């Protein structure tokens, strides 16, 4: 049996007191108490004190609301804060724009480049402008036995006015071009003696001179069904008595109805001219064609798609032969944003009665004989489809495929010659080109990539692949199957800039007969690269250096016509205001 410690203590104290009280009366003796087992306390014997004692006073739970107030009164102060100052921001100096400039350059082959452009405001609405351009070479190509100099100069004058409801401009200009027929065939003079061949070479010392006078004007109206009118007249003639007149009038009507664009263009295009003789000196050539066309169109634009649909009806008149014919051309195009601006699909169809002219032919090939048969080209259709968009914010692309059919397509072909005849016209020694017409079908694939990596660097690449099918001629003469081009322009620093461009043109076919011996000629492909660098001394003055045909190849752009090899041109440009 367990004996609690506190009970033993109480009993012992009580016994001691009783013994003390009885001690006087008697002696009760002593006793011995034996504790069998020692006391072992347990946890249940202790009472814990609560950490948070309970409060029984209810008044302690009541909280009195406390209110705060601020006692404010004005205090006089003499402190005056300093005015804030905006932080300085680095600004790029804006380049000043000048109204006028002059350019002058000289280089190898005694090349001279000159340009002058001036403009001046007259009052608040009118202006007058003029320009002079010149490019010439006074040195011959070493690969040629004949003079190969050239000259191309022009002068122009423009007057314009911009009113509140309409604007108009008028143009007046003159251009002169001079070229030599220096492209003799490789086998020229093989049947002649050395003396006779040298005599022929010596007498081919005259070239061809082209002159063009132009007069035109444009007027446009705001808030009017009559949108505007274009008028242009060209008088073109050469040193061999050939002459041509061309007159074009094109008014435009248009308005918007129910958010749809309705537009109509009317065109009157007349060309007429004459050559003193044909290539064989048999008869005089005269030509005259008038095309009158009307082209209505209807267009709509929504968020992701747009389209324009219309047609053109053209009355073509052959004035010399009193023949008239009506041509019909569908004209439509549509586009759809497949993935926003990243990918846009487009397709369409187009066609036209293309008015050909002596002046346009010579601008493309200046080595023509003044004995041409001029006729319009019936471009029956051009069906196309493709994709365009952006690969990134700074990179755009275009891919386009086309199927084209052209009836009476004009092709440049080398003229036949007979080198056994000593005295002929300057262009009858196999050194000029004529025209041959055929129906041509073309499949064309075009691709282009442009990238503006920054405001200082821009790059472009493009390529064209063609396949041709003609009805009568054995080849699509002087038309390349493949063309490639690339360019880059960069602002190196605020003062220096540079750029380069290169292009490749594939093989072309030509045909030429010498003394009734026919031969198909191959004009070899060529690659050309050009570069330029410039230094801006200040806002007005800039010096530049141009390098052309860096590969130093005397390639032939036309059969038997080598171009100038490596060229260097050093020049300067000056901008100014009156």
What DSSP string runs through 299-310?
EEE-SSEEEEEE
DSSP state of 564: P
Check: CB of residue 446 under 8 Å from CB of residue 462: yes
pLDDT of residue 4: 43
pLDDT of residue 70: 52
Q: Which of 569, 492, 561, 472 is nearest to 530 (CA)?
A: 569
Mean pLDDT (the chain, rounded)? 87
Instruction: State how far the Cα of 451 lies from the Cα of 138, in Å rounded to an integer.
Output: 39
**pLDDT at 73 exceeding the cut of 60:** no
Inter-CA distances, 79 with 73, 75, 542, Å: 18, 12, 57
pLDDT of residue 2: 41
Q: How many CB atoms lie within 10 A of CB 331?
A: 19
pLDDT digits (tens, 9 = 90+) for 136-180: 999 999 888 999 999 999 999 999 999 989 999 999 999 999 999
Inter-CA distances, 541 with 492, 507, 538, Å: 17, 43, 5
Q: How many CB atoms lie within 10 A of CB 44?
A: 6
Higher pLDDT, 192 or 566: 566
| Phi and psi at residue 197, to the nearest 5° | -65, -45
Q: What share of the chain is helix, strand, coil (3-state, %, to 5)?
A: 10, 55, 35
Helix (H) or strand (E) holding 570: strand 567-576
Instruction: State how far the Cα of 132 lies from the Cα of 115, in Å rounded to an integer.
Output: 6
Q: Which of 212, 213, 230 is nearest to 221 (CA)?
A: 230
pLDDT digits (tens, 9 = 90+) for 236-285: 999 999 999 999 999 999 877 766 778 899 999 999 999 999 999 899 99
Lowest-confidence region among 95-109, 192-206, 270-284: 192-206
pLDDT digits (tens, 9 = 90+) for 372-404: 999 999 999 999 999 999 998 889 999 999 999
Q: How many CB atoms lie within 10 A of CB 16?
A: 10
What does pTM read for this prediction? 0.82
Q: How many CB atoms lie within 10 A of CB 176?
A: 14
Concatenating the DSSP letter of every residue in 45-108 gives GS-PPPSS-----GGGG-------------------PPPP-PPP---PPPPPP-SEEEEEEEEG
**pLDDT at 45 exceeding the cut of 60:** no
Higher pLDDT, 497 or 44: 497
Could you tell me the pLDDT band of residue 126, with boundaries at 50, 70 and 90? very high
Could you tell me the pLDDT band of residue 470, with boundaries at 50, 70 and 90? very high
Q: Who contacts 396 (Cβ-Cβ below 8 Å, separation ≥6)?
A: 388, 389, 390, 449, 450, 451
Instruction: State how far the Cα of 309 lies from the Cα of 332, in Å rounded to an integer.
Output: 4
| Phi and psi at residue 207, to the nearest 5° | -110, -160
In 222-358, the DSSP E strands lie at 226-238, 243-257, 260-275, 285-301, 305-318, 323-339, 343-354
When pLDDT is averaged across residues 412-433 and rounded to a whole number, the result is: 92
Instruction: State how far the Cα of 300 lies from the Cα of 387, in Å rounded to an integer.
Output: 20
Q: Which of 220, 226, 291, 304 is nearest to 265 (CA)?
A: 226
- Residue 377, SS3 per DSSP: strand
Question: In the structure encoding, which two tokens stand for residue 209, read together?
Answer: 């001179």
pLDDT of residue 515: 79
Concatenating the DSSP letter of every residue in 132-192 gives EEEEEE-S--TT-SS---EEEEEEEEEEEEE-SSEEEEEEEEEEEEEE------TTTTTTS
Strands 508-514 and 517-523: antiparallel
pLDDT of residue 95: 72
Check: CB of residue 430 under 8 Å from CB of residue 415: yes
């Amino acid at each position: 049996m367990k004996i609690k410690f506190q009970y033993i203590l109480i009993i012992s104290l009580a016994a001691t007191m009783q013994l003390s009280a009885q001690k006087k009366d008697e002696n009760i003796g002593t006793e011995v108490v034996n504790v069998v087992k020692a006391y072992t306390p347990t946890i249940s014997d202790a009472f814990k004190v609560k950490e948070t004692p309970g409060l029984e006073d209810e008044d302690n739970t009541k909280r009195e609301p406390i209110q705060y107030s601020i006692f404010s009164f004005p205090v006089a102060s003499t402190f005056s804060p300093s005015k804030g100052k905006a932080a300085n921001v680095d600004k790029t100096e804006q380049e000043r724009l000048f109204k006028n400039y002059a350019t002058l350059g000289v280089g190898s082959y005694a090349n001279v480049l000159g340009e002058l452009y001036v403009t001046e405001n007259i009052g608040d609405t009118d202006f007058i402008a003029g320009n002079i351009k010149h490019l010439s070479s006074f040195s011959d190509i070493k690969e040629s036995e004949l003079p190969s100099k050239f000259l191309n100069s022009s002068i122009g004058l423009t007057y314009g006015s911009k009113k509140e409801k309409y604007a108009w401009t008028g143009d007046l200009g003159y251009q002169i071009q001079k070229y030599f027929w220096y492209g003799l065939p490789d086998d020229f003079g093989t049947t002649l003696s050395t003396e006779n061949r040298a005599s022929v070479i010596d007498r081919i010392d005259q070239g061809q001179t082209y002159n063009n006078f132009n007069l035109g004007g444009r007027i446009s109206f705001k808030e009017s069904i009559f949108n505007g009118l274009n008028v242009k007249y060209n008088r073109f003639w050469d040193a061999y008595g050939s002459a041509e007149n061309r007159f074009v009038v094109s008014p435009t009507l248009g308005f918007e109805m129910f958010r749809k664009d309705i537009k109509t263009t009317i065109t009157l295009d007349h060309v007429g001219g004459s050559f003193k003789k044909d290539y064989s000196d048999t008869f005089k050539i005269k030509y005259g064609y008038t095309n009158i066309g009307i082209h209505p169109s209807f267009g709509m634009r929504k968020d992701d798609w747009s389209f324009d649909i219309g047609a053109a009806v053209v009355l073509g008149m052959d004035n010399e032969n009193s023949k008239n014919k009506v041509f019909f051309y569908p004209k439509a195009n549509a586009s759809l944003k497949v993935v926003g601006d990243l990918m846009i699909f487009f397709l369409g169809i187009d066609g036209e009665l293309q008015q050909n002219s002596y002046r346009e032919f010579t601008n493309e090939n200046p080595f023509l004989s003044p004995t041409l048969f001029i006729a319009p080209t019936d471009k029956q259709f051009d069906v196309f489809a493709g994709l365009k968009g952006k690969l990134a914010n700074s990179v755009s692309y275009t891919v386009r495929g086309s199927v084209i059919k052209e009836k009476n397509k004009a092709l440049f072909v080398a003229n036949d010659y007979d080198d056994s005849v000593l005295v002929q016209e300057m262009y009858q020694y196999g050194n000029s080109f004529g025209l041959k017409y055929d129906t041509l079908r073309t499949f064309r694939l075009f691709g282009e990539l442009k990238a503006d990596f920054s405001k200082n660097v821009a790059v472009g690449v493009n390529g064209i692949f063609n396949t041709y099918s003609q009805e009568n001629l054995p080849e699509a003469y002087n038309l390349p199957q493949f063309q490639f081009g690339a360019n880059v322009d960069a602002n190196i620093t605020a003062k220096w800039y540079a750029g380069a461009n290169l292009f490749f043109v594939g093989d072309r076919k030509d045909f030429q007969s010498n003394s009734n011996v026919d031969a198909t000629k191959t004009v070899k492909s060529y690659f050309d690269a050009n570069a330029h660098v410039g230094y801006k001394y200040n806002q007005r003055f800039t010096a530049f250096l141009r390098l052309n045909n860096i590969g130093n190849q005397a390639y032939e752009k036309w059969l038997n016509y080598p171009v100038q090899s490596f060229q260097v041109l050093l020049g300067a440009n000056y901008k100014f205001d009156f």
